[in-house]
Copies of this chain bind each other. A is one copy, B any other.
Amino acid sequence: MIEKRNFDELQTSFYNQPLMPYLGAKLAFIKDGKANIELDFDKKITQHHGLFHGGVIGTIADNSAGFAAMTLMPKDREPLTIEFKINFLNIANGEKIISEAVILNYGKTIFHGESKVFSIKGDKKKLAATALVTIKATRRVKEIFT
């Protein structure tokens, strides 16, 4: 049987990325091929009109798909984004944004993720961006550091 990471290990992996707390991102949900990342509004991460910066939207779209993939991998593998693509559908002018990722299909090596990023203002939830993310399961030492 393949041993996978438990909830605590997934949480730890997420916050081990210094960029995530630096941006203010939180892992809001993670289970069985799905992961959500939330990010509260903060002027520091905006573009010139005071909206969430597209780079930040792309960052959580990519990362939520990576963590959705991680839930499905054996413990000795970790996700590496091969590529991603994101379409910006609406301005992200909410109080927070949330990226909801799901793995559409996967094999031993390749995982296909889809992330939908919503802008949230009060009780309104608007689709701000949609992304496709291709992830590879790597053995850390052997494949990345040599």
Contact = CB atoms under 8 A, between A and B. Distances in A.
Nearest to A12: B48
Main secondary structure of the interface of A (DSSP, over half): mixed
Size band of the interface chain A makes with B: 35 or more
A134 B82 contact: yes
A122 interface: no
- For the complex formed by this chain, how many copies does it contain in all? 4
A25 B74 CA distance: 36
Given A44-B19, A48-B17, A62-B55, A104 B83 contact: no
Interface of A: 13, 16-19, 22, 43-49, 53-56, 58-60, 62-63, 80-91, 104-105, 107, 109-110, 112, 114, 127, 130, 132, 134, 136, 140, 143-145
A83 B81 contact: no
Contact of A132 (B54, B91, B132): B132
